[in-house]
Copies of this chain bind each other. A is one copy, B any other.
Amino acid sequence: MNARPRLIVIGGDAAGMSAASQARRLRGSTDLRILALERGYHTSYSACGIPYLVGKTVPSPEDLISRDPETFRRDFDIDVRTGTEAEAIDLDRGTVTARTAGEGPVEEPFDELMIATGAVPVRPDLPGMDSPGVFGVQTLADGIAVREFVDTRCPRTAAVVGGGYIGLEMAEAFVQRGMEVHLVEAAAEPMSTLDPDMGRLVREALVKMGVRVHMEEPVTGIETAPGGEARAVVTDRAAYPADIVVLGLGVRPDSDMARAAGIEVGPTGGIAVDARMRTSAEAVWAGGDCVQSLHRISEAPVAIPLGTHANKQGRVAGTDIGGGYARFGGVLGTAISKVCGLEVARTGLNEAEAERAGFEFETATLESTTRAGYYPGAALMTLKVLAERRTRRLLGAQIVGWENAGKRIDVLATALWNSMSVDDVAAMDLGYAPPFSPVWDPVQIAARKLAEGM
Contact = CB atoms under 8 A, between A and B. Distances in A.
Contacts of A436: 336, 338, 406-407
A429 B413 contact: yes
Contact of A46 (B49, B374, B408): B374
Interface string A40-61: 0000001011001000011000
Given A307-B439, A374-B63, A335 B431 contact: yes
A350 interface: no
A308 B374 contact: no
A261 to B, nearest CB: 29
Contacts of A14: 439
B407 A374 contact: no
B430 A308 contact: yes
A332 B296 CA distance: 27
B52 A375 contact: yes
A347 interface: yes
Contact of A431 (B49, B372, B410): B410
Contact of A428 (B165, B413, B437): B413
Indicate the member of A165, A308, A332, A428 with the most B CB atoms within 10 Å. A428
A136 interface: no
A262 to B, nearest CB: 30
A404 interface: yes
Interface string A343-361: 0010100000000000000
Nearest to A430: B410
A328 B308 CA distance: 36
A46 B431 contact: no
Interface residues of A, number: 65
B431 A413 contact: yes
Given A414-B414, A418-B418, A418-B420, A433 B376 contact: no
Copies in the complex: 2
Contacts of A345: 431
A235 B215 CA distance: 69
A5 interface: no
A333 B165 CA distance: 37
A439 B375 contact: no
B335 A428 contact: no
B409 A417 contact: no
A433 B337 contact: yes
Contact of A48 (B306, B335, B420, B433): B433
Interface string A386-425: 0000000000000000001011111101110110100010
A298 to B, nearest CB: 13
A382 interface: no
A434 interface: yes
Contacts of A46: 372, 374, 434, 439
Nearest to A315: B448
B432 A307 contact: yes
Indicate the member of A327, A347, A372 with the most B CB atoms within 10 Å. A372
A48 B438 CA distance: 11
B337 A429 contact: no
B417 A429 contact: yes
11 contacts: A63-B374, A296-B429, A308-B429, A327-B427, A331-B429, A334-B429, A347-B431, A404-B404, A404-B407, A407-B408, A418-B420
Closest 6 CB pairs of A and B: A336-B431, A418-B418, A63-B374, A414-B414, A329-B427, A332-B429
Given A329-B424, A334-B429, A414-B414, 4 more contacts: A165-B433, A311-B440, A329-B429, A407-B437
